[in-house]
Amino acid sequence: MSPTSSPVVRAKAPGKVNVFLRVGAIQDDGYHDVAIAYQALSLSDEVRVRHADDFRVSVSGTVELGRVPIDESNIAVKAAKLLAEHTGYTGGVAIDIDKHVPVTGGMGGGSADAAATLIACDALWGTEISRDDLFALARQLGADVPFALTGGTAIGTGRGDELSPALAKGGYEWVLALADFGLSTPAVYAELDRHREQHAGEIRPADPRPSVDSDVLQALRAGDPHMLAEVLHNDLQAAALHLEPSLGRVLELGESNGALAGIVSGSGPTVAFLAADRDSALELQVALSAARLNVVRASGPVHGARILSE
Ligand code: ATP
């Protein structure tokens, strides 16, 4: 299609919850290996792209947008530029992001936007990138971006970007308590390192190459929310709670109002509550809204980033 007809390509960018997150010992380069069980959620952003001479981005949506950059530091712009550079495409793109995934919320919203931008620009520009190259570019953009492409349920090791599919069945109903503040992922990791250093000798040393516990894999295979609720785990949770003690009350409120279990999502501050079924999720949503929490419902697993037909 010619640029003058101004086609728009739309892509869905799903957020995620980590139903299990173990953080390995800090390495010499300051990074940690992790072991993550990811689940892609129906709470999604939408990325729309159209031809332009330069690279630009605009943002709208239902979440706090103040922390989303609208210059070349937006990860969606980085994704588009990386694809252009890789394929030799010489034009630009205007990117419009409709955001619903909380920003700096531990739900991988930026990573999802990057994944959706890669596939949307590839479709708009007709660059036909191979699957291997697409994943290589995703990895360069961030550790959570490859999972945002695949979606579903997956295990991530290394930096979180070495993905293997998880045998999983069934669907899960979540209620997400969104905070009106963000938590910086590096700050939460730093707090975990500080705690581990301070208590070295009292706590079991972290495994340098962590793995996902077998009872988590078993619960996912069974597709049983009650089983999964028993084994939800996040090594970053204590650090996030230390930085933001108010999250403790949020967890208590959910658990005393019928959630099977609650967990801080990734580095927080979003708290994800697993419900037994859709009706329980609805009841929990009503109870938490009455307690003046900002809550949304989501289900998972869903597909990864994908093009939406007109
Ligand atoms: P993760 O759990 O993957 O670390 P997160 O979900 O906590 O990330 P994001 O909303 O992905 O957080 O944003 C992380 C940072 O990236 C913020 O500081 C934000 O300013 C910046 N950012 C850049 N581009 C985007 C984007 N398209 N959407 C949201 N944040 C973006």
Confidence category of residue 5, pLDDT binned at 50, 70, 90: low
Residues 57-95 have pLDDT tens digits of 999 998 888 889 999 999 999 999 999 999 999 999 999
pLDDT at 213 over 60: yes
* Residues in a beta bridge with 264: 271
Cα(125) to centroid(ligand 1), Å: 25
For 271-302, give the DSSP string: EEEEESSHHHHHHHHHHHHHTT-EEEEEEE--
Measured in angstroms, how far is the CA atom of residue 1 from the centroid of ligand 1?
A: 33
Identify the structural domains of the chain with CATH numbers, from first to last.
7-310 (3.30.230.10)
ipTM attached to this prediction: 0.94
Catalytic residues: 16, 144
Whether ligand 1 lies within 6 angstroms of the CB of 145 is answered as no
The answer to whether the beta carbons of residues 74 and 57 sit under 8 Å apart is yes
User: Cα(276)–Cα(265) distance, rounded to whole angstroms?
Assistant: 18
d(CA 166, CA 20): 12
Torsion angle, alpha carbons of 216, 284, 152, 142, to 10: -90
Q: Between helices 246-255 and 278-290, what is the axis angle to 10°?
A: 130
Atom of ligand 1 nearest to the CA of 113: 27
Could you tell me the pTM of the whole model? 0.94
Average pLDDT, the chain: 94
Q: Do 241 and 248 contact (CB within 8 A), yes or no?
A: yes
Mean pLDDT of 272-284: 97
